[in-house]
Amino acid sequence: MRVLLLNPPGRRTYIRDYFCSKTTKSNYLFHPIDLVVLSGTLAERHETQVLDAMAEGLDEERALARVARFAPDAVISLVGSVSWDEDRAFLARLARLGPRVLALGDVLQEDSETRLAEEPWLEAALHVFVNQDAVHYLEGNLAEVREMTLRRPDGRIERIRSRGKQRGSYRVPRPRHELFPGRGYRFSFARSARFATVLTDYGCPYPCTFCVIGTLGFQTRPVQDVLEELDHLRARGVREVFFMDQTFGVQKPRALELCLALERRGDLSWTAFTRPDTADDELFAAMARAGCHTVIMGVESADEGVLASTEKGYSGAEIRAGFARARRHGLRTVGTFIVGLPEETEESLERTLALAVELDLDFMSLNMAVPRFSTPMRARLLEQGLARPGDLVMDQGGASSSLSTHTLDRDAMERLKRRMVRRFYLRPAYLWRRMSRARNLHELASQAREGLALLSKNF
Ligand code: SF4
């Protein structure tokens, strides 16, 4: 079978992966991890190509021409709530070329039966990308499918669910990084232009109410499989990695084992997400020795009430201690925040900005609260009438606001968020530190480019 893995074109730069979707906050675009993982699974059994129209900057016509040239039997496409109206129109056109069309993305995680009923071009939706469902489905082994929404031969639409959240370990064939475009990906924290995006575990064991990743269960890949993938990348000259694990170090012995193996190789540098209460001194030290230079950690809010209501499971004191620990080990820190929750006020945003400054962050990343599909927060917002079930288009990247808070309407929320970004990044001492700490020309140029892109979106 000829299978095409597709990231569709769009009017703006969209990040659609891992059941989240947003516009890029500055200019970054990394490899969509779902397609990276699926590339190994599909290529092991079928002739597989990747078309990332976002990375290649293709418009609809050129993307369709490329699809027609490959003439796939099946297309597995990313879709996202951020671009749903564009995606569905484009994929309906693509389906007229003849291939079967499967899709995955946040907008299909909830009420997927309705989405299939509404979209005749969509044959089936994948709800997990680290299992063999795509292969089983395409080969007609429906009895083996674990987590999909599909059309039965009699036309019935059915969502197949496995019982309970997935745990334990999973194995996937080595992702085929070589199928992805060599240019077009940009990552703000990478120390060289060429980098790879790698997943060593799937999901997250924490229950944060706004986050879809916590709804996916938690599974790990054997360290040996990860090392085989990394060694393959090293052999191709890649030295910079973005680990997409959502909480690096959840299983500390496993993380230490991986770090030790990377330290022995001694030639990789990397960025990872972790939590301020998960990474202790031993783990941060091991990560730094293994080549980690940047850690991304959730702060979310300066408000203890918001931390509690979103079930983050840590306090402001733990946040402060975690960021101080990372800095002691020489790691750059990125703090991610969620703004615009119903309880948000102008005053709480002030306190959040003050905390970002106090934490001495290298980068501050603001995410707009959105009722992300299949999350507990969405259920609460629907119940409170603050979100509407039929609103499928939303953007947590902050280009627009999806929610009003109890005291701020959407326009006010957006205006205050843009002001926060400017006040954080346009501090002269900060700008001097940012530029003076660049290690090489690539880093300097990339930070200037990303910074300008970020600021231009927040004026
Ligand atoms: S720790 Fe991070 S990835 Fe895990 S559920 Fe919370 S926000 Fe999501």
Structural domains in the chain, sorted by start: 2-160 (3.40.50.2300), 187-456 (3.80.30.20)
User: Ligand 1, residues 18, 33, 199, 208: which to mutate, most atoms within 8 A of Cβ?
Assistant: 208
Kindly report the protein residue whose alpha carbon is nearest to atom 2 of ligand 1.
Answer: 246
Ligand 1 near 206 CB (within 6 A): yes
Residue having the nearest C-alpha atom to atom 6 of ligand 1: 208
Alpha-carbon span 338 to 157, nearest angstrom? 36
Give residues with Cβ within 8 angstroms of 390, minimum separation 6.
Answer: none
Residue 192 CA to residue 239 CA, distance in Å, equals: 8
- The CB of 211 under 6 Å from ligand 1? The reply is yes
Residue 409 is predicted with a pLDDT of: 84
Does the beta carbon of 298 sit less than 6 angstroms from any atom of ligand 1? yes
Q: Which residues of 6-29 are buried (b: 16+ CB within 10 A; e: fewer)?
A: bbbbbeebbbbbbbbbbbbbbbbb
Report the pLDDT value the prediction gives residue 254, as an integer from 0 to 100. Answer: 97
pTM: 0.94
pLDDT at position 28 is 87
The CA 298 to ligand 1 mean position distance, Å, reads 8
Which residue out of 202, 210, 247 has the highest number of ligand 1 atoms within 8 Å of its CB and is therefore the one to mutate? 247
Query: Which atom, in ligand 1's list, is nearest to the CA of 300?
Result: 7
What is the whole-number distance in angstroms between the Cα of residue 424 and the centre of ligand 1? Answer: 24
> 168's torsion region: left (phi>0), alpha (psi -120 to 50) or beta?
left
pLDDT at 305 (0 to 100)? 86
For the CA of 211, the closest atom of ligand 1 is 8
Question: Which atom of ligand 1 sits closest to the CA of residue 204?
Answer: 4
Which tens digit of pLDDT belongs to each residue from 318-359?
Answer: 999 999 999 999 999 999 999 888 888 889 899 999 999 999
Identify whether the C-beta of residue 73 lies closer than 8 Å to the C-beta of residue 99: yes
Ligand 1 in reach of 372 Cβ (< 6 A): no
Q: Which of 165, 191, 178, 98 is nearest to 440 (CA)?
A: 191
Report CA dihedral (36, 40, 42, 44) to the nearest 10 degrees: 170
Q: Decide: 310 in ligand 1 pocket, CB within 6 A.
A: no
For the chain (length 459 residues), average pLDDT per consecutive 10?
98 94 87 98 98 98 98 98 96 98 96 97 98 97 96 94 84 98 92 95 95 94 98 97 96 98 98 97 98 96 89 94 98 94 87 94 91 90 87 76 77 87 91 86 83 80
Number of the ligand 1 atom closest to the C-alpha atom of 214: 5
- Name which of 96, 167, 126 is nearest 35 in CA terms: 126
Distance, CA 205 to ligand 1 centroid (Å)? Answer: 8
DSSP-assigned beta bridge partners for residue 338: 367
3-state secondary structure 197-260: EECCEEECCCCCCCCCHHHCCEEECCHHHHHHHHHHHHHCCCCEEEECCCCCCCCHHHHHHHHH
What does the pLDDT look like over 284-328, one tens digit per residue?
Answer: 999 999 999 999 999 999 988 888 989 999 999 999 999 999 999
What residue's CA is closest to ligand 1, atom 1? 206
Is 213 close to ligand 1, i.e. is its CB under 6 Å away? Answer: yes
Angle between helices 441-456 and 428-436 (to 10 degrees): 150
Query: Which atom of ligand 1 is nearest to 312's Cα?
Result: 6
Q: Is the CB of 249 under 6 A from ligand 1?
A: no
Ligand 1 centroid, distance to 200 Cα (angstroms)? 16
